[in-house]
A and B are shown apart, each in its own frame.
Chain A
């Protein structure tokens, strides 16, 4: 059981490292002034995801995405460190195993996830109705997001209905 968990942790470390490497590469490209394509981009505070920047409707959007990628990368780095330390120390490994496999925690996550998705769908429906008064694009975007969330929920319901 612990051996399976250890190999799961190793796999997670590899996947995390791949993500972090890609994020670092992207960051390196973005902060390098030679790859900035125009004065407009430089004025955008380094809004330079090279390809996307040309397509984005607003110059701040690439910066925002870059921030998200960096944030996820930092969280991933912390998780990699946690897994790596656990692999070197049996006590930490047992604690991590318990934290991840605890049945009450799993139940809390399941309940929170199910409820959260319903609240999100309801919020998106309300948001779409409100946005419809101001912006056609926002109305369709929020409706599309709501439909996607509904489809995901229905899909999982069907899947678990068949498999459990």
Chain B
């Protein structure tokens, strides 16, 4: 899943470590989220979005999931 986390981090001059500490996860989790290897739980997605003062769908790109749903793969 694509996310805007790297972009938002750069805007706020935050390191992965700082964001990780703020949302109580490890730096590796943030790194995996940014590279799209890992999909955040609803709780973590909410925490990250709230940290940046945005809605979940403004941080995480759900278009792949929507496409899969339309194709009947979900």
Enumerate chain A interface residues (CB-CB to B < 8 A). Answer: 94, 97-99, 101-105, 107
| Tally of chain B residues near chain A (CB < 8 A) | 13
Contact status B29-A103, CB under 8 Å? yes
List residues of chain B with CB within 8 A of the CB of A94: 21
Whether B12 sits at the interface, judged by CB under 8 Å, is: no
Chain B residues near A104 (CB-CB < 8 A): 25-26, 28-29, 32, 38
Chain A nearest Cβ from B31, distance in angstroms: 10
Q: Which residues from A are CB-within-8-Å of B43?
A: 103
Complex Cα spacing A101 to B21, Å: 12
Pull 19 A–B residue pairs with CB atoms less than 8 Å apart, ordered by A: A94-B21, A97-B24, A98-B20, A98-B21, A98-B24, A98-B25, A99-B26, A102-B24, A102-B26, A103-B40, A103-B41, A103-B43, A103-B44, A104-B25, A104-B28, A104-B29, A104-B38, A105-B26, A105-B29
Q: Which residues of A contact B26 (CB under 8 A)?
A: 98-99, 102, 104-105
- B residues near A101, Cβ cutoff 8 Å: 24
